[in-house]
Chain A
């Protein structure tokens, strides 16, 4: 099967900028919501969702990765040094090629932990439980990256059950649902990420000293695209 040179198909990419902005936007949203009654997190959630919707296509001899319909990365095919198919993504790989992700997670987790334990330890219970939820989510993601693939479905179920429990709990104690919006945003965030890390293979492309990570349910198609493209590069 030959892929058309202009063919594009969806992959899930995780570009650092989009991911970072979205993560911090989501984390900041509860604070911003207190200042102005506006769903601050909404645009960041949209960004977060978009960061998982990406395409890879060929433009002459350049592999074009488009993340969230906005950010484009262009990799000249003759600069590709290595292509690796990763059947699972673990912290060792993430730390080796994408230390910024690890740093970001550490900062985010510390942020929430300090907020929970120091600044809001005896404050608003809605806020505290929201923070507990975020912290649990971070821990779940750490687990998601370290557990064998087949066991990650358990995590997804756990996240969903935890969310249902929170919802019932809040409902039972009669707190305003409006205050719950950050919790549901975090829930969406957690499901997206856990889903992103499970059931898919990853393709690591090294080119010109930079690392590009793609996750795809059809990694063989991405490999084939690269292969087809390389076959068309006029090597002298």
Chain B
């Protein structure tokens, strides 16, 4: 299962929640350069993980956002095209969902990262698709 290294994941999550690099560096007691490096590496790893996932399942990628850690793709299910939404969830790795069927923990995660302002599936889909 794909997981970002613990330290990198912490830095990435803080940035995804909207903190500035300087603030992250101050809070974690590391240099700003180290924060920047961790973020760049995290983005590369997330892109790679999402691209790999799409390739394995033959999904067509529509959007990959490594900053907030999500992917929007189109997959096939019984010859019908379905939208697939995949998220990188800290501590859990990547989880993918078909349509608007999001569990509560994903909605909560989306609110925490500022993708949406309330845990509403329709709003989340709209934000991911916009």
Binding site for B on A (CB under 8 A): 77-85, 87, 92, 206, 220, 223, 226-227, 230-231, 233, 235-236
Contacts and interface: CB of A to CB of B under 8 A. Distances in A.
A80 B61 contact: no
Interface stretch (B25-33, B44-52, B80-88): B44-52
B21 interface: no
B43 A83 contact: no
B65 to A, nearest CB: 4
Given A79-B40, A80-B66, A235-B41, A85 B61 contact: yes
A233 B40 CA distance: 10
Given A227-B51, A231-B48, A83 B41 contact: no
Contacts of A235: 41, 44-45, 48
B122 interface: no
A236 B41 contact: yes
A81 B65 CA distance: 6
6 contacts: A78-B44, A83-B61, A84-B65, A226-B47, A227-B48, A227-B51
B19 interface: no
A235 B39 CA distance: 10
Contact of A85 (B47, B51, B63, B67): B63
A83 B44 CA distance: 12
Contacts of A206: 67
B63 A230 contact: no
Contacts of A84: 62-65
Contact of B48 (A81, A82, A223, A230): A230
Nearest to B62: A85
A77 B44 CA distance: 8
A231 to B, nearest CB: 6
Contact of B63 (A78, A82, A226): A82
A227 B47 contact: yes
A93 B63 CA distance: 14
B44 A81 contact: no
Nearest to A76: B40
A235 B43 CA distance: 9
B44 A233 contact: yes
Contacts of B48: 227, 230-231, 235
A78 B43 contact: yes
B41 A82 contact: no
A13 B113 CA distance: 32
Given A84-B62, A85-B62, A230 B67 contact: no
Contacts of B63: 82-85
